[in-house]
Amino acid sequence: MSRPPVVARTFPALRRALAELRRRDASVALVPTMGALHDGHLSLVRLAKRRADKVVVSVFVNPTQFAPHEDFGSYPRTFKTDAAKLAGESVDLIWNPDIKAMYPDGFASKILTEGPALAGLEDRFRPHFFGGVATVVGKLFNQCRPDVAIFGSKDFQQLRVVTRMAADLDMGVKVIGAPTVRERDGLAMSSRNVYLSAEERAVAPTLYRALKEVAKRIKAGKSIESSLAAGAELIAEAGFVLDYLEARHADTLAPIKSIKNGPIRLLVAAKLGKTRLIDNIAV
Ligand code: AMP
């Protein structure tokens, strides 16, 4: 058995732990999370272990990426279970700062992201979101100075935004995307799936099914527009309220009219009752 991870909650503890990890020039991977860990998060940890000598997982529910009406207060917080799961994956260090450490009184700076952050997807429905994400990820990169950082393709626009930011601001971190881990019925794993009632949970996989249906139609030569319309109908019939279902260029996230101009990524966000779910697949 390897040692349980060190848990750092203050900057001095983090600095000490990182100095210890970096002895003998070990490379470090960072996996940023908001906790409530599931197998999707653990797959990022496993990828991190293949890409670096030491693995740091941050667990921090970041208030600045939630709007006042969103679920910051009710977001699941399960630190003990999370720490046990990370111990099972032989993670080296858990960085679990408190809010005051991250955002001390007088905190007044923010990273402004454009390009993929203004693609008209998540940003259209959560205008505050990428400012909060970019700022906290930038802070985590500065605090931990990782060589690589792993992000899930589940949050596809976020992956593009963070990759762009790390390159644009010379953060010296290689951002690596990891595939989406799904439940057996296709639902993308998410910490927010616990909000779903039994009835909602039963229809939630429709989102993935609809994405696959749209991809199938586009690959069969149907127009992107009609394929998306068919997908939107499936999603609405299942009882979702759709925020968006779009076909975008997988690299730039620019709108795309033809499969010839691909690679295409299909992205969806929809509400089922009070729960907002997102998903995406390649065509
Ligand atoms: P979160 O804790 O939701 O902020 O997510 C932390 C990281 O885990 C992000 O990079 C997410 O994209 C990634 N992630 C969340 N769900 C999944 C999933 N089902 N499969 C793969 N990665 C995921």
Residue 262, helix vs strand vs coil: coil
Is 186 within a domain?
no
The 10s digit of each residue's pLDDT in 150-202 is 999 999 999 999 999 999 999 999 999 999 999 999 999 999 999 999 999 99
Question: What CATH number has the domain bearing residue 64?
Answer: 3.40.50.620
Residue with CA nearest ligand 1 atom 13: 152
Q: Is 38 annotated as a binding residue?
A: yes
| Count of the separate structural domains present in the chain | 2
Residue with CA nearest ligand 1 atom 6: 33
44 and 165 within one domain: yes
CA of 220 to the centre of ligand 1 (A): 31
Query: What pLDDT score does 71 carry?
Result: 87
Q: Is 243 annotated as a binding residue?
A: no
Helices 129-144 and 11-21 pack at an angle, to 10 degrees, of 60
Given 119, 149, 178, which residue is the final one in a domain? 178
Query: Ligand 1: which of 30, 33, 185, 275 to mutate, judged by most atoms within 8 Å of the beta carbon?
Result: 33
- Alpha-carbon distance of 223 to 230, in angstroms, equals 11
- 50: its two tokens: 């293949």
The 10s digit of each residue's pLDDT in 131-140 is 999 999 999 9
Count of beta carbons in the 10 Å neighbourhood of residue 75: 17
141 and 61 within one domain: yes
Question: What CATH number has the domain bearing residue 231?
Answer: 3.30.1300.10
Would you call 249 a catalytic residue per the annotation?
Answer: no
Low-confidence residues in the chain, pLDDT < 70: 1-2
Q: Is 34 annotated as a binding residue?
A: yes
* In contact, 175 and 163? CB cutoff 8 Å: yes
Helix residue ranges per DSSP H, the chain: 11-21, 39-51, 79-88, 99-102, 122-125, 129-144, 156-168, 198-203, 206-219, 224-237
195 and 240 within one domain: yes
In terms of Cα–Cα distance, which of 77, 42, 46 is closest to 63? 77
Given 135, 152, 178, which residue is the final one in a domain? 178
Instruction: Judge if the beta carbon of residue 154 lies within 6 A of ligand 1.
Output: yes
Query: What pLDDT score does 235 carry?
Result: 98
Is 185 within a domain?
no
Query: What pLDDT score does 2 carry?
Result: 67
Is 183 within a domain?
no
Domain that holds residue 277: 191-282
Query: What pLDDT score does 1 carry?
Result: 54
14 and 154 within one domain: yes
* Cis-peptide, bond into residue 263, ω within 30° of zero: yes
Q: Which residue reads 């998306």 in tokens?
A: 228
Given 145, 178, 211, which residue is the final one in a domain? 178
Query: What pLDDT score does 115 carry?
Result: 95
* In contact, 215 and 281? CB cutoff 8 Å: yes
Residue with CA nearest ligand 1 atom 19: 189
Query: Ligand 1: which of 71, 95, 155 to mutate, judged by most atoms within 8 Å of the beta carbon?
Result: 155
Cβ-in-10-Å burial (0-12, 13-18, 19+) of 127 comes to exposed
Is 184 within a domain?
no
- Alpha-carbon distance of 122 to 155, in angstroms, equals 10
- Alpha-carbon distance of 277 to 263, in angstroms, equals 24
